[in-house]
Chains A and B, each alone.
Chain A
Amino acid sequence: MAAVLQLSQVTKAYGALRALDGIDISLPDNAYISLLGPSGSGKTILLRVIAGFETPDSGSVLFKGERVEAVPPHRRNIGFVFQNFALFPHLSVAKNIAFGLENRELNPITDSTVVRARVKDIVALVGLTGLEDRGVTQISGGQRQRVALARTLITEPSLVLLDEPLGALDANLRTRMRAELRTIRERCGVTFLHVTGSETEALAMGDAVLVLDRGRIAQADDADTVYNQPRSASVARFLNCYNLFEGQLSNDEFVTSVGKFPLQGQKADARGQPAYAIRYDRISVRPLASPVTAEEVRLEGTFIADEYSGAAINSFFSLDDGRVIEVESHLSQAAPQTCVPHSRYALVWKRQNALVYA
């Protein structure tokens, strides 16, 4: 697949803060890419560098094979959807959408019948039919989101950057818009780079997921790989579904403050602190007395509380050093152990399910 965008060794610093610290990425054509990063990881700055709103201190940005670091935003043909949508408040829905076509520097369309036809098509695509003459302050958040998208898509960019596009919507609408964004993108056949701080959103939407950590790309893989094999402890932490233990690796054992975890040969090289990670839903809760097999790891903890979330129950146990461990039990599987608060239980997982970073 041809790469639509290639960044190499892009850095950008604000004083002593290295917001982007040598970013290397390559985005394929016609794909949905999510960019996951916690707040402060530099994800918005990365998008702004790609769009041309910020200039990188060093490194190169290749868009469709051409260097664009010195090209101003309006000559890049890269779409941008803002978190606050940034619609033109003085224009109607239709005028907002037609704005780029009519006013762009390169090849503006002056024939109003053509513009109207194009607007009509795109309005139908994003599902805004009937709202064309409304003011953009008179429509709902979800509709504004669609206007922002339509306004960008109508100019047929080869790449659309979306900066937390669902962040301003309520939870219900967010889930619905996820599916719609994917459908709309497939129909247009362009690449979407979707920045988000939500791991579920990143995993659900992206054909591929880029994880950004303190100005560096920590992992670039498909969603499944990111979820099951986070490349580093910090990626595992962002995913919000791993219990992490810090410690030291020594002879097929990972030594932590709560005990020694025997390994089964697995080990991933990673920068940063050595860590041992076990996914919430890989842990099972058993009575203290129940036996443990040779390939299992066992830990004791005191039950604190649980949280019911429909398809699963998340239970919290405190270990001897005060640390809290989270266990997720899917209700579709066997009925989970009912736990009594302040009682001790055995927390057990298979050795090969753990991930080790050292």
Chain B
Amino acid sequence: MQASGTKLALGIYTTLFLVFLYGPMVVLAILSFQTGPEGGPQFPIIEWSTYWYKHLFGLTPPTRIAPLPIEEALVRSLLLAVMTMIVSTVLGVTSAQAFRKKFTGSGFAFYLIVLGMMVPGVLVGLGMALVANALGVDRHWWGTTFVLHVVYTYPFAFLVMLAILNRFDQNVEEASWSLGVSPVKTFRKVTFPLIFPGVLSAMLFAFTLSYDEFSRTLFASGRDLTLPLAIYGTFSVEVHPNVFAFGVLTTLFSFALLGTYAALMMLSIRRARRVAIQEEA
């Protein structure tokens, strides 16, 4: 597009848009360095301090402000995310593999899977709680919550894998078969290494979505809280800057995860490019 005046205006607008997207997080990060325990979650900053970060880890003398119940919740959330990641990636890869052949009812199966990411968490969560009640099954984060997380993340993994396999040259697999290599070994030695970047993306999707999942978790988990539930618990009570400090830390954790993903991705691309000289079996 030429119109440079329009372009400039839209450029400025987009900058403002990004400020709109990032503004609250920046403010939150600033306020997390509020002094404590008397400093509240608002401006002005009375004094810069890392008090609330220490408070998170229980490094401050006890006050009336209870520390966030995050330690166990964090472990649970991580475990849940890993379980969800593994199962939904496996399901995603296998179903996407099935969709490489045309079959009757493929449209139905496709929409059934994609429905999982479209139906709001409240509804599935409520439905699951009702089913559990009717069957007399206890609700646990590792049971009812876990299956719902997979319902949510598996469609993402499936779509990612579908996109990857659509671009995959089937001849490469057939070439391997014609060399006498069994389909199972072909998948291990040829297909999987080639779709690995996709699998990695699917895993990243599943992990982050599950780690942050909240509305499904709310109804489907029992007494033991996951991390998002712990944060949700602070909504109804007075918010202190320790929640903000926690927000900053989780964000950093997510970026670390993202960084790991990027590094792995880079590595797998470079490995593919640099060939397998030192990989001599």
A134 in contact with B177 (CB, 8 Å):
no
Segment among A81-89, A280-288, A299-307, A332-340 that sits at the interface with chain B: A81-89
| Residue B2 is within 8 A (CB to CB) of chain A in the complex | no
Decide yes or no: A91 and B169 within 8 Å by CB, A103-B185, A104-B180, A105-B180 being known contacts.
Answer: no
A86 in contact with B277 (CB, 8 Å):
no
B175 in contact with A134 (CB, 8 Å):
no
B174 in contact with A77 (CB, 8 Å):
no
Contacts of B271 in A (CB 8 A): 90
B174 in contact with A73 (CB, 8 Å):
yes
| Residue A196 is within 8 A (CB to CB) of chain B in the complex | no
B178 in contact with A80 (CB, 8 Å):
yes
B276 in contact with A78 (CB, 8 Å):
no
Cα(A12)–Cα(B279), bound, Å: 43
Cα(A106)–Cα(B183), bound, Å: 13
* Of B179, B193, B271, B277, most A-chain CB atoms within 10 Å: B179
Interface residues in B160-219 (C-beta closer than 8 Å to A): 169, 171-172, 174-183, 185-186, 189-190, 193-194
A105 in contact with B179 (CB, 8 Å):
no
From A80, A112, A151, give the contact of B281 (CB < 8 A). A112
| Residue B280 is within 8 A (CB to CB) of chain A in the complex | yes
Segment among A92-100, A184-192, A208-216 that sits at the interface with chain B: A92-100
CB distance from B200 to the nearest CB of A (A): 14
| Residue A152 is within 8 A (CB to CB) of chain B in the complex | yes
CB distance from A172 to the nearest CB of B (A): 25
Contacts of A87 in B (CB 8 A): 172, 175
Contacts of B274 in A (CB 8 A): 135
A99 in contact with B174 (CB, 8 Å):
no
A74 in contact with B183 (CB, 8 Å):
yes
Interface residues in A23-78 (C-beta closer than 8 Å to B): 51-53, 72-78
| Residue B66 is within 8 A (CB to CB) of chain A in the complex | no
Contacts of B190 in A (CB 8 A): 88
Contacts of B273 in A (CB 8 A): 135, 137
B185 in contact with A135 (CB, 8 Å):
no
Decide yes or no: A103 and B171 within 8 Å by CB, A73-B177, A74-B177, A92-B277 being known contacts.
Answer: no
| Residue B119 is within 8 A (CB to CB) of chain A in the complex | no
Decide yes or no: A95 and B275 within 8 Å by CB, A74-B183, A77-B180, A104-B181 being known contacts.
Answer: yes
**Interface membership of chain A positions 150-174, coded 1 if the CB is closer than 8 angstroms to chain B and 0 otherwise:** 0110010000000000000000000
Decide yes or no: A105 and B176 within 8 Å by CB, A86-B169, A91-B276, A112-B281 being known contacts.
Answer: no
Q: Which residue of B lies closest to A73 (CB)?
A: B177
Contacts of B137 in A (CB 8 A): none
Decide yes or no: A80 and B175 within 8 Å by CB, A91-B275, A92-B276 being known contacts.
Answer: yes
From B178, B189, B272, give the contact of A73 (CB < 8 A). B178
Q: Which residue of B lies closest to A161 (CB)?
A: B178
CB distance from B168 to the nearest CB of A (A): 11
| Residue A133 is within 8 A (CB to CB) of chain B in the complex | yes
Cα(A80)–Cα(B171), bound, Å: 10
Contacts of A105 in B (CB 8 A): 180-182, 185
A99 in contact with B194 (CB, 8 Å):
no
Cα(A133)–Cα(B275), bound, Å: 8
Cα(A151)–Cα(B180), bound, Å: 11
**Interface membership of chain B positions 136-155, coded 1 if the CB is closer than 8 angstroms to chain A and 0 otherwise:** 00000000000000000000
B276 in contact with A155 (CB, 8 Å):
no
A82 in contact with B175 (CB, 8 Å):
yes
Decide yes or no: A53 and B180 within 8 Å by CB, A95-B275, A133-B277 being known contacts.
Answer: no
CB distance from B13 to the nearest CB of A (A): 42
Cα(A88)–Cα(B177), bound, Å: 12
| Residue A79 is within 8 A (CB to CB) of chain B in the complex | yes
Contacts of A112 in B (CB 8 A): 280-281
Cα(A155)–Cα(B176), bound, Å: 11
From A90, A103, A137, A152, give the contact of B178 (CB < 8 A). A152
Cα(A135)–Cα(B274), bound, Å: 7
**Interface membership of chain B positions 5-36, coded 1 if the CB is closer than 8 angstroms to chain A and 0 otherwise:** 00000000000000000000000000000000
- The 5 A-B residue pairs whose C-beta atoms are closest, nearest first, are A100-B179, A104-B180, A86-B171, A92-B275, A80-B178
- Could you jot down 25 A-B contacts, CB within 8 Å? A52-B177, A72-B177, A72-B183, A73-B177, A74-B179, A74-B181, A74-B183, A74-B186, A76-B178, A78-B178, A79-B179, A80-B178, A82-B171, A86-B175, A88-B175, A89-B172, A90-B193, A90-B275, A92-B277, A95-B276, A95-B279, A100-B181, A103-B176, A103-B181, A103-B185
